[in-house]
A and B are shown apart, each in its own frame.
Chain A
Amino acid sequence: MTGWFTAFVAINQRELIRFWHNRSRLLSALVRPLLWLLVFAVGFRSVLGVSIMPPYETYILYQEYIVPGLCAMIVLFNSMQNSLSMVYDREMGSMKVLLMSPYPSSFLLFAKLFASAVLSLLQVLIFIALCFLVDVDISLTGIVLATPAIFMTAFFLGALGIILANFIKQLENFAGIMNFVIFPMFFMSSALYPLWKIRESSEWLYWICYYNPFTYGVELIRFALYQQLNSSALLVILSTTLACSIAALMTFRGHKHA
């Protein structure tokens, strides 16, 4: 059992070291949502009124509305960044070292996803700490309750990233992931606007957002931050995480033969 633990810790440690070496990644991970919060949300707060809707008990400022969406955005970008580093590992050969480990692929994949989720969580917590500076009202209990929600969403998106990594044959193709996965996933969700508001403008867009699993990650985090459980979001995230993890495991094993 000690050997498994040693391997698990080493995989996590390696991801943390790599993240620490690449501090600009942390900076850009924070600048992106902060720009949305401090520029986009401030500009739109007078245009967009968000009426009372769960989990909120009163009218809220737009700035407050988009915080959970921006938390999910950090997780989304970090997970996709991880898929990029997986492609890098494959190109540089270090993926072979991992695959030559005697431990099962499922365990190695779990360790990698766990490491990615820890990194996502760290970044989100730093972002939430910065949110306090702009008077976004989130309780400490909410943050504690949101931790598993962020973790689960990170697992789902991490697994999705690993599936995508299988389709990225070269590092240069990452722009395609930005355009065809990250942006549509983020914009066509409840991260920036509530679904009822989207439905008022476009029925078809509403249905896309409705079926976008990222929406449920955002809602799971949103409800948890306000100390509530969105059980349908939990169910969707759990089932998509399971489905994506199985698919990720199959593609991860396929990395051997890539």
Chain B
Amino acid sequence: MPNIVVENLYHSYGAKPALQAIDLIIRPGFNVILGPNGAGKSTLFSLLTGILPAQKGQVRYDQQDIKTQRRSIMHRLGVVFQQPTLDLNLSVQQNLTYFGALHGITKVSVMRQCEPLLQSFGLAERLSDSTRSLNQGHRRRLEIIRALIHQPQFLLLDEATVGLDADTRQLVLNTLRDYVTVNDVTLLWTTHLMDEVQSNDALTLLHKGKIQAQGLTTDLLVQAQCNSVFDWYCSLTQTVEAM
């Protein structure tokens, strides 16, 4: 099973710890890391992608350590960063083919793979448009399509819906949930937006650099005797604040 295993992960910026003793198993399906701004989500994301080297602890994809087997992992990892990463000097198609080529995939294969996603994301007619001319929502859709070009087993998306309107958010979430179900991939979704969490998601609450809770959303709500993710989130974060 394509799992991501995080063991005793620690990272600090100077003397200030950003993440402490993070232990996580991310299994196939839709996994959500929920946390307020400054909780350490982006730091965790950077460690998971190898953008930041782990100061302590390990990140393994299917038993492969990101420190030593990065190349092999990158072949199977699709990433959407919070910060936009498109090349605005290239067209929509050029951005896709450039990314595909960086994974050794030819233009023909890239376009064949992208076609259905371009259709469902409403970008099929805009292939030759400059990326600069796309609005924020379309740029984000393009980044998501791009992350799927090499048919990754693992998908990491960091606050991928920030700044998008409600319709686009819903479209992105629904498309990705379908994709996960159909392709049996392991998707990690970091967010601070509670309405993006569904009852059957594997949910982790990250707050102040520590994992406060993890499990299936419905189980977590039952355990905490809460009716909604919002109540559950407030009760846990307030408990932490009070400590």
B55 CB to closest chain A CB, in angstroms? 11
Q: A7-B102, A256-B50 are in contact. Are A102 and B85 (CB under 8 A)?
A: no
Is B87's beta carbon under 8 Å from chain A?
Answer: yes
Chain A residues 17-41 with CB under 8 Å of chain B are: 17-18, 21-22
User: Which residue of B is nearest A14, CB measured?
Assistant: B98
User: Which residue of B is nearest A5, CB measured?
Assistant: B104
Contact partner of B53 among A22, A89, A93, A257, CB < 8 A?
A257
Chain B residues 69-92 with CB under 8 Å of chain A are: 70-72, 74-75, 77, 79, 81, 83-90
Q: Find the residue from B74, B90, B99, B104 having the highest chain A CB count within 10 A.
A: B104
Inter-chain contact A98/B104, CB cutoff 8 Å: no
Q: Within the assembled complex, what's the spacing in Å between the Cα atoms of A107 and B157?
A: 27
Q: Within the assembled complex, what's the spacing in Å between the Cα atoms of A4 and B71?
A: 13
Is A92's beta carbon under 8 Å from chain B?
Answer: yes
Inter-chain contact B103/A17, CB cutoff 8 Å: no
In this complex, how many residues of chain B approach chain A with their Cβ under 8 Å: the count is 31
Inter-chain contact B101/A100, CB cutoff 8 Å: no
Q: Within the assembled complex, what's the spacing in Å between the Cα atoms of A9 and B100?
A: 12
Inter-chain contact A92/B84, CB cutoff 8 Å: yes
B144 CB to closest chain A CB, in angstroms? 14
Interface residues of B, dominant DSSP? loop
Inter-chain contact B79/A17, CB cutoff 8 Å: no
Inter-chain contact B50/A103, CB cutoff 8 Å: no
Is B105's beta carbon under 8 Å from chain A?
Answer: yes
Please indicate the chain B residues that have their CB under 8 angstroms from the CB of A100 in the complex: 49, 74, 77, 79, 102
Inter-chain contact A101/B103, CB cutoff 8 Å: yes
Please indicate the chain B residues that have their CB under 8 angstroms from the CB of A99 in the complex: 51
B137 CB to closest chain A CB, in angstroms? 17
Inter-chain contact A14/B90, CB cutoff 8 Å: yes
Inter-chain contact B81/A94, CB cutoff 8 Å: no
Q: Within the assembled complex, what's the spacing in Å between the Cα atoms of A11 and B81?
A: 21
In this complex, how many residues of chain A approach chain B with their Cβ under 8 Å: the count is 29
Q: Within the assembled complex, what's the spacing in Å between the Cα atoms of A11 and B106?
A: 13
Please indicate the chain A residues that have their CB under 8 angstroms from the CB of B106 in the complex: 2, 6
Is A3's beta carbon under 8 Å from chain B?
Answer: yes
B162 CB to closest chain A CB, in angstroms? 14
A102 CB to closest chain B CB, in angstroms? 4
Is B52's beta carbon under 8 Å from chain A?
Answer: yes
Is B94's beta carbon under 8 Å from chain A?
Answer: yes
Q: Within the assembled complex, what's the spacing in Å between the Cα atoms of A10 and B85?
A: 17
Please indicate the chain B residues that have their CB under 8 angstroms from the CB of A6 in the complex: 101, 104-106
Please indicate the chain B residues that have their CB under 8 angstroms from the CB of A89 in the complex: 87
Please list the residues of chain B having a beta carbon within 8 angstroms of any beta carbon in chain A: 49-53, 70-72, 74-75, 77, 79, 81, 83-90, 94, 97-99, 101-106
Additional A-B contacts beyond A102-B75, A102-B103 (11; CB < 8 A):
A6-B106, A14-B90, A14-B94, A92-B84, A97-B98, A97-B102, A100-B49, A102-B71, A103-B102, A257-B51, A257-B53
What 10 pairs between A and B have smallest CB-CB spacing?
Answer: A3-B104, A10-B101, A102-B74, A93-B85, A101-B102, A93-B83, A102-B75, A6-B101, A94-B87, A102-B71
Q: Can you list 26 A-B pairs with a CB-CB distance of less than 8 A?
A: A3-B104, A4-B104, A6-B105, A6-B106, A7-B102, A9-B101, A10-B101, A13-B98, A14-B87, A14-B90, A17-B89, A17-B90, A17-B94, A93-B81, A96-B81, A96-B83, A97-B85, A97-B99, A99-B51, A100-B79, A100-B102, A102-B72, A103-B104, A104-B71, A257-B51, A257-B53
